[in-house]
Chain A
Amino acid sequence: MKKVIVVGNGMVGYKFCEKFVAKEGSETYKITVFGEEPRPAYDRVHLSEFFESQDAKALEMAPRSWYEENNIDLVTDVRITDIHRSKKTVTSANEKEYEYDYLVLATGSSAFVPPIKGVEKEGVFVYRTIEDLEGMLAYAVKVKAENPNARAAVLGGGLLGLEAGKAAMDMGLEPHIVEFAPKLMPRQLDSRSSQVLQLKLESIGLNIHLSKATNQILGDDGFITGMEFGEDDKLDVEMLIISAGIRPRDELGKTCDLEMGVRGGIVVNNKMQTSDSNIFAIGEVALYNQMIYGLVAPGYDMAEIAASQIMGNEEALMPAEIDMSTKLKLIGVDVASFGEPFMPASKGHSVIFENKTQHLYKRINVSLDGKSLLGGILVGDASDYNMLHQVFLNGMAIPEDPAQLILPATEGGAFGSALDLPDEAQICSCENVSKGQICGAIKDGSCEDLAGVVAATKASTSCGGCKPMVTDLVTETLKSLGKTVKNVICEHFEYSRQELYGIVKAKKLTSFNEVLDACGTGQGCETCKPVVSSIFASLYNDTPNKEDVTQDTNDKFLANIQRNGTYSVVPRIAGGEITPENLIVLGRIGKKYNLYTKITGGARIDFFGAELNDLPAIWKELIDAGFESGHAYGKSLRTVKSCVGSTWCRYGLAESISFAIELENRYKGLRSPHKIKGGVSGCIRECAEARGKDFGIIAVEGGWNLYVGGNGGATPRHAQLLAEKIDNETVIKYLDRYLVYYIQTAAPLMRTAAWLDKLEGGIEQLKKVVIEDSLNIVEDLEKEMQFLVDAYECEWKQAIENEDAKKRFNHFVNSEDRDDNLVFVPLRDQKMPKLWEKDVKGATL
């Protein structure tokens, strides 16, 4: 049996194993893998997700058991220190010696730490491993405890640096990016796109400092307190993340005299062989074409080549040109560059579209004859990246006027269908899956749907950037075969939400079992039950009291479940307006039931930590004092946030607060596919942030401007203008129509922004439907809304007035006892639930 030793169990080292064992004949080889990190290989590309999940397991490329099942010996927490080429052995840090026939070096790289005075201080981190992140999290908690306004800087404004900046922001620190070059992402962007990106990043709260050379890291007692750039040029920071590039971990190659690059890296040929033909190098340690490729996709290709070569397939060779196109996966900011991003005028022409007000920049570079695409840059909107990238990779023909490729969408779009791509087009570069493989899996009948294709080809399982295109290809192929592609709700209903809505309405079905018997199969599940409940609510304004067992838990108990199984209580405070008397009532109730109390982002008061048994009593007191449910738990209208407008504000043009209260009361209790938020501002200063809401209304000279389809959350979107300078009645008329149209046609859990994106024709189409009545439905839409408004009842009032409905709030059926598993700990002057176990170690933010 031949012995293969792999040094380094990172992304590429793992991929090598995966590719190797998948090959025929691999049983005659024994693979041993050494990894210096304490855990099996994990997905470094998605390292930043660790901040949110703090779940290292979720990032694993494969569990330990996978290595066992494939007869691979995985030795973690052990570093290989020497290679003895003459003996064909390696030795480990614990002084053991292992023989090899083939040696694969996949030692990756480490973060480059520039030799600046003071870098060794506490609070200076690099961004490479899970341990780095754990260290940062713990340190951030510490500095924030000392100074709630603590700052963190990132040294380096490249792709990774910006990702680190976002991470610093998510840790609750004021983020600063410090870059030596005069522009951001210097390797991918030109100056103009860098400026646009800078504006965009600043608008989400990142502070950017360009052309700054750091002289020294300042500090007290060994802890960092700031950075010095020039004599009077300093930045106070409590934490620093260095992201100034990578250095290959090539020390093993050096000590055994393999051929090395001048600036590091182990030299390999197109077979991935080093200067010793039994030793291969792959991934970020390999110097190929005098380049270190700091991306996974080329690393995976190298893994494939090395595995094939070792198995004796001489024909597998690394291509000479390697695609370095990148899409930044920062949340909320689209940035991408592909091919030749900046190009001398002698080689071609550039077409540039720039709109700074929208933080938009698009540039494409076209060959001198205007026939092919050479590269480009997209900032602010990279939705066309996949298609442009494919056009570039496959040398496809481009329109006569190349501007069509980047101008805001025209009818039908400039691209046509993804099916026009040639079969060899590489759709997933991480897993090297071609269009032919994806479509073929459907055509030959081996897969029936997206999930099947993903499982069979692995497409989109790595960086995920190709997911939209894979989805399109699967859908289009199914369509071309005459198979209908359905966006079905779940295994129990062969319908989309919109179709089911139509059926329930037409057949006047009123209980879940009726619906299931009429048009479903099986017993239902946690996906379809809430969908049906939401349809009932939207059609009949049924409150969750009617059929509580089919409601999502929050709707079932009319309260938001919190992480320890207690609930929160949020009474409605329309428009955020509250009398001092009512504030006192709330204070008294909060105190009586010992509830953690906080003001929400929607400008109302949220009580946390209420035990299930106490909910009816708390709500009885609230309702007796005149409050009603705030529906904070429902997929329904939350709040209409408002500024004080002309009532108080010296700039106000209209009474925003009165209007907000009117709207909140009109739409309260309205059930919808997802939550709905509104905002009303008294002038364009927009203090109510109305454009970040599903509907936003802003006073201007001559009336209100009505915006729709905005949201905050994970993918923030500005609402788009639906109508200008309209009066109160018209606002309500249009809102009624828009909201009911959304409720009828959106998919489950789809916010208005996503719905508007999917709506063919977008905002222009919506204007046609809502304003011009192109579908001849506005009368019905208005009627339906009026019915819902009239049918409104406070569901908490219903619940406490009905003994049967109240029963569900007992923790036990056979005892008055409470849940004895609940443990609270003190927090400032209030309380909080005890941390979940894994959080204790990682220190929560």
Chain B
Amino acid sequence: MEELLSKYKTVKTDDVKVWFKAASVEAFPIDGGACVKYKDLQIAVFNFSRLNMWYACQNLSPEKQEMVLSRGMLGDQKGTPKIACPLHKKTFSLETGENLNGDLDPIAIYPVKIENNFVYIGFSE
């Protein structure tokens, strides 16, 4: 299980080597999320259209090691955009990955860009 978690590491925009073309913008629900498969990774991608922002993070719940974060609910805590895990409503900042209502380890965050109506996620390998 530890190995599963260790596959997910936050990627900074500067360190992106591969921009993976995931799907068209329409494939993602407005103000909701969906899961993208990249190699053996599962990445949750969120179309936070109220904020006009896109976010991506690991799909793996760090608490229970299940692939569910993309099915969670978006929101904000005092202005910080966050995602709530559907299993036990643990919430994570979409900006830093930090667990906002507990002391779980942070989740990995990935950069997202939109070009020609396509959603791209940045990976370092």
Contact = CB atoms under 8 A, between A and B. Distances in A.
B11 interface: no
A561 B22 CA distance: 26
A108 B67 CA distance: 45
Interface in B24-45: 27-32, 34-37, 40, 42, 45
Interface string A59-93: 00000000000000000000000000000000000
B42 A813 contact: no
Nearest to A564: B66
B65 A836 contact: yes
Given A561-B86, A812-B35, A813-B36, A524 B30 contact: no
B72 A821 contact: no
A626 interface: no
Interface string B50-63: 11000000001000
A317 B87 CA distance: 50
A556 interface: yes
Given A522-B79, A550-B73, A819-B42, A808 B4 contact: no
Interface residues of B, number: 42
Contact of B68 (A513, A525, A561, A817): A561
Given A526-B84, A813-B23, A491 B77 contact: yes
Interface in A813-842: 813-815, 817, 819-821, 836-837
A812 B36 contact: yes
Contacts of B10: none
A557 interface: yes
B106 interface: no
A817 B35 CA distance: 11
A814 B22 contact: yes
Contact of B67 (A491, A526, A563, A565): A565
A808 B29 contact: yes
A15 interface: no
Contacts of B66: 563-565, 821
A544 to B, nearest CB: 12
B64 A836 contact: yes
Most buried by B among A523, A564, A837: A523
B78 A549 contact: no
Contacts of A808: 29, 34
B28 A813 contact: yes
Most buried by B among A492, A812, A819: A812
A810 B79 CA distance: 31
A195 B25 CA distance: 69
A694 to B, nearest CB: 24
A436 to B, nearest CB: 32
A825 to B, nearest CB: 15
B87 A563 contact: yes
B77 A526 contact: no
A523 B81 contact: yes
Q: Is the interface of A mostly helix, strand, loop or mixed?
A: loop
A491 to B, nearest CB: 7
Contacts of B31: 512-513, 549-550
B23 A525 contact: no
Contacts of A215: none
A529 interface: yes
Given A524-B75, A529-B73, A561 B27 contact: no
Given A564-B66, A813-B23, A814-B23, A525 B75 contact: yes
B120 to A, nearest CB: 12
A129 to B, nearest CB: 24
A821 B27 CA distance: 23
A309 interface: no
Nearest to A553: B86
Nearest to B48: A523
Most buried by B among A525, A529, A530, A815: A525
Contact of B42 (A550, A553, A810, A821): A821
Nearest to B83: A526
B81 to A, nearest CB: 7
A548 interface: yes
A371 interface: no
A523 B74 contact: yes
A55 to B, nearest CB: 11
A565 B60 CA distance: 11
Contacts of B40: 820
A811 interface: yes
Given A549-B32, A561-B68, A529 B37 contact: no
Nearest to A838: B64
Contacts of B35: 811-813
Contacts of B81: 523
A807 B36 CA distance: 14
Given A523-B51, A813-B22, A813-B36, A548 B68 contact: no
Nearest to B46: A549
B1 A525 contact: no
A549 B34 contact: no
B17 interface: no
A549 B23 contact: no
Contacts of B71: 553, 556-557, 561, 565
B76 A813 contact: no
Contacts of B60: 821
B36 to A, nearest CB: 5
B12 interface: no
Interface string A512-528: 11000000001111101
A814 B32 CA distance: 16
Contacts of A811: 35, 67
B124 to A, nearest CB: 20
B32 A565 contact: no
A355 to B, nearest CB: 41
A513 B50 CA distance: 8
B113 to A, nearest CB: 16
B1 A837 contact: yes
Interface string A781-825: 000000000000000000000000001101111110101110000
A61 to B, nearest CB: 15
Nearest to B31: A549
Nearest to B91: A526
A305 to B, nearest CB: 33
A98 B85 CA distance: 49
Interface in A419-473: none
A54 to B, nearest CB: 13
Nearest to A57: B103
Contact of A561 (B4, B23, B45, B87): B87
A724 to B, nearest CB: 43
Contacts of B89: 526
A243 to B, nearest CB: 33
B86 to A, nearest CB: 3
A524 B76 contact: yes
A807 B81 CA distance: 25
Nearest to B68: A565
B118 to A, nearest CB: 11
Interface of A: 491-492, 512-513, 522-526, 528-530, 548-550, 552-553, 556-557, 561, 563-565, 807-808, 810-815, 817, 819-821, 836-837
Which 3 residue pairs are nearest across A and B when measured between Cβ atoms? A525-B75, A549-B32, A553-B86
6 contacts: A561-B87, A564-B66, A565-B68, A814-B22, A837-B1, A837-B65
Given A523-B76, A526-B75, A561-B86, 16 more contacts: A522-B76, A524-B50, A526-B73, A529-B73, A553-B86, A557-B71, A565-B87, A807-B27, A811-B67, A812-B34, A812-B36, A813-B35, A814-B22, A820-B40, A821-B60, A821-B66
